[in-house]
Amino acid sequence: MTARILDGNKIRDEIMHELGGQIHELKAAGITPGLAAVLVGENPASQIYVRNKVKTCQSLGLYSEKIEWPADTTTERLLELVHELNARDEIDGILVQLPLPPQVDSKAVLEAIDPLKDVDGFHPVSVGNLVQGRPGLVPCTPAGIIEILRRSGIEMKGARAVVIGRSDIVGKPVAMLLLHNHATVTICHSRTRDLPAVAREGDILVAAMGRAAFVTADFIKPGATVIDVGINRLATEEEVRRIYHHPEGPLAKLREKGSVLVGDVQPEDAREKAGAFTPVPGGVGPLTIAMLMSNTVKAAKLRRGSRVAAKA
């Protein structure tokens, strides 16, 4: 039996449609949610991410600002900018695109963001709210994972969930969100003993360690739901042949496009052994920007609750 593909593009479109209605209601109350995206340096991937975020804001009718500064920007100057954005009422969300240049104290910059405008959900106050289950802004990729599970009818309540990866951006927050949805959660990492055996306990398996096709059939419980968070670019025939059992299709794509995207899960194994899985690309990725837009709208509601009721 072939696993069901969980279509992130379809779920993103559902969320965007719902957000359109919420934004219309906010505008009727005199509120246009606003997002400021700060980009430092000329990292090509970061430029694409920020451009897509601003473009999505525009398509939804949100106010957006893209602030681009040179790579030699200091921590002090960035802190001044963040304080300025904190004080501006028309800005509901502040996004500082990572990674920042090496001379910048990224932690200090992120912690300077007003927690009410922390649409990435990285501030210690946001983390505390998440741990305690309080209303607040949740990191976008973990929030998107929960939306995929919920909207795909995957039962979290009572399920055994295994998360491979313990990053502050994905692993830890998605484990906490699964716990809040009444799953029994195990977090694994590079030092977990007999990792495949632990992973096979999961009715839900989240792979978020940033290693191409690391999770193979040996990690997957038959019929499990596999959420693949990884995005890894393969640029050589050797890499493609090493990872794929049947490399003909990926090799053709490599020759056509110059690279092939693969997640942290071996896709052929997931297709054959899982009950459902998220593809790469087209799975978790589309939800990240959708949840950023959702957080911006949520921040506007939480900040300006006197004019419109905030949805926790």
CATH of the domain at 38: 3.40.50.10860
Same domain, 116 and 144: no
Catalytic residue chosen out of the listed positions 97, 114, 264, 269? 97
Quick check: is 53 catalytic?
yes
Same domain, 144 and 283: yes
Tell whether 194 is covered by a domain.
yes
Same domain, 174 and 280: yes
Residue 102 has pLDDT above 70, yes or no: yes
Quick check: is 97 catalytic?
yes
Task: From residue 211, give the alpha-carbon distance in Å to each of 214, 230, 232, 250, 254.
Answer: 6, 7, 7, 18, 19
The CATH number of the domain where 181 resides is what?
Answer: 3.40.50.720
The pLDDT of residue 311 = 44
Q: What is the pLDDT of residues 138-156, one digit of tens each?
A: 999 999 999 999 999 999 9
Q: What is the pLDDT of residues 33-92, one digit of tens each?
A: 999 999 999 988 899 989 999 999 999 999 999 999 999 999 999 999 999 999 999 999
Same domain, 156 and 271: yes
When pLDDT is averaged across residues 100-129 and rounded to a whole number, the result is 96
Q: Which one-letter DSSP state was computed for residue 2?
A: P
Same domain, 104 and 153: no
Q: Domain total for the chain? A: 2
Catalytic residue chosen out of the listed positions 22, 53, 117, 266? 53
Nearest Cα to 299, choosing from 83, 36, 49?
Answer: 36
Asked if 188 and 219 count as a contact pair (C-beta separation under 8 A), the reply is no
Tell whether 130 is covered by a domain.
no
Range of 234's domain? 140-287
Residue 2 banded pLDDT, cuts 50, 70, 90:
confident
Residue 308 has pLDDT above 60, yes or no: no
**What is the C-alpha separation between 151 and 239, in angstroms, rounded?**
34
Q: What is the pLDDT of residues 207-246, one digit of tens each?
A: 999 999 999 999 999 999 999 999 999 999 999 999 999 9
Nearest Cα to 67, choosing from 57, 56, 82?
Answer: 82
Same domain, 228 and 256: yes
Tell whether 147 is covered by a domain.
yes
Same domain, 181 and 221: yes
Same domain, 157 and 78: no
Residue 310 banded pLDDT, cuts 50, 70, 90:
very low
Dihedral over alpha carbons 73, 79, 84, 88 (to 10 degrees): 110
Same domain, 190 and 103: no
Same domain, 236 and 115: no
When pLDDT is averaged across residues 157-180 and rounded to a whole number, the result is 97
Region of 41 please: left (phi>0), alpha (psi -120 to 50) or beta.
left
Q: Read off the tokens for 300.
A: 């506007």
Place of tokens 């921590």: 75
The pLDDT of residue 304 = 82
**What is the C-alpha separation between 94 and 126, in angstroms, rounded?**
13
Q: What is the mean pLDDT of the chain?
A: 95
pTM of this structure: 0.94
Same domain, 177 and 111: no
Neighbouring CB atoms inside 10 A of 132's CB total 10
Tell whether 204 is covered by a domain.
yes
Asked if 100 and 72 count as a contact pair (C-beta separation under 8 A), the reply is no
Neighbour order of strands in the sheet with 160-164: 4-5, 276-277, 225-228, 204-207, 160-164, 184-188
Tell whether 61 is covered by a domain.
yes
The pLDDT of residue 312 = 39
Catalytic residue chosen out of the listed positions 120, 203, 228, 264? 120
Quick check: is 120 catalytic?
yes
Same domain, 91 and 147: no
